[in-house]
Amino acid sequence: MASGYLVLEDGSVFKGSVPEGSPDVYGEVVFETGMGGHLEAVTDPAAAGTIVVASFPLVGNAGAKDGFMVSDRVHASGLVAREVCRSPSDMYGGEPLGDYMVAAGVPCISGIDTRDVVATLRDKGTMMGAIVSDPSKAAPLLRKGRPKGLVAKISHKKVADLGGKGPKVAVIDCGSCKGLYEELLARFNVIRFPYDAKAREIIDSGAAGAVFTDGPGDPHELKGKTVETASDLIDAMPCMGISLGAQVMALARGGEVFRMKTGHRGCNQPVRHGGRIHMTFQSHGYGITEGSVEGATYDHINVNDGSVEGFSLGGIGSFAVLYRPQSRPGPTDTEFLFDVFAKSVGGRP
């Protein structure tokens, strides 16, 4: 191991250790609150352009292996931890998370008091940062600013018929996890479109409904593309928006979408919906202003901070949530939303 440093744009410096030869990287420094699921967190496409800080002090207890990944690779720019388990449980057959990150060419800095990092972010808000071998190397990286065009880089580029059963549903892919497709394929005949597909293409495919997926980055970058498509489809067929997709649907209906101070990330976020409290997995840094979305009922509310977590639209059954009902990783409390969507498009749960 070698000395490494997490440097924040406000000048805060945290010293830790990185594997020999780790690259210098930068990204938006965010924290996630789950006690587990850290491999899933860094392989989540929504983590692209971010450095993930694990608030739980010990990560990697279950090890890392391809079967735990929620996409085909590590998308986060880096991982910050207090301690990385060197001898994971034999139960799951995974290798040490630190070794997995090294093989992926992504730095994992450990030995840092992540309580201090999280407290700084909670106080000052999410900010850019860098993991470097020398603090003097951070300034040129931080001047690059927040990464842009992330959805365009990650979204599948071609239309694909994925099969499945039931009514045909179009998925407008903004960079989603595998778990979403598992839930959809169990209920629908799925045809996947790139993020910039036009509404006419989707309607002509014969789809009975549309799903706007989760993904990374600033939803305002999708105006004139995904947002325009959502605007055209919301009244033409039932639509379901997830995380970034919810922000897209909000913008399509004239809603205000804003950068949150710290965002919601982790598999223990409580949401009130339908008279119950559901535990949810979340990974988003943008919120929706209550009252701003035309014709919306705000029926999903975060218990911790009272923020909007989702809304429904009158008419043909369109709705959107900022959390991940596919719950990979995390609780399965809200998987029933896929059945609600299935009823809207004429299927059977």
Tens of pLDDT, residues 145-155: 999 999 999 99
Structure tokens belonging to residue 204? 């002509």
Strands (E), 135-256: 160-164, 168-173, 189-194, 209-212, 239-242
Contacts of 224 (CB under 8 A, 6+ apart): none
CA 300 remoteness from chain centre: 18
Q: Which CATH number fits domain 2-142: 1.10.150.120, 3.40.50.1100, 3.50.30.20, 3.40.50.970?
A: 3.50.30.20
Mean pLDDT, range 281-304, rounded to an integer? 97
Mean pLDDT of the chain: 95
Tens of pLDDT, residues 135-174: 999 999 999 999 999 999 999 999 999 999 999 999 999 9
> In which band, very low, low, confident or very high, does the pLDDT at 73 lie, cut at 50, 70 and 90?
very high
How, if at all, do strands 168-173 and 189-194 pair? parallel
CA 274 remoteness from chain centre: 24
Share of the chain above pLDDT 90, in %: 89
- From 223, 235, 160, select the one nearest 191 (Cα to Cα): 160
| Second CATH level (architecture) for the domain 150-344 | 3-Layer(aba) Sandwich (3.40)
For residue 327, is pLDDT > 80?
no
> In which band, very low, low, confident or very high, does the pLDDT at 349 lie, cut at 50, 70 and 90?
very low
Amino acid at 79: L
Q: What is the DSSP letter of 295?
A: T
pLDDT given at position 220: 98
CATH 3.50.30.20 segments of the chain = 2-142
Residue with token string 């919601």: 264
CATH 3.40.50.880 segments of the chain = 150-344
pLDDT given at position 347: 55
C-alpha to C-alpha distance for 191 and 166, rounded to whole angstroms: 12
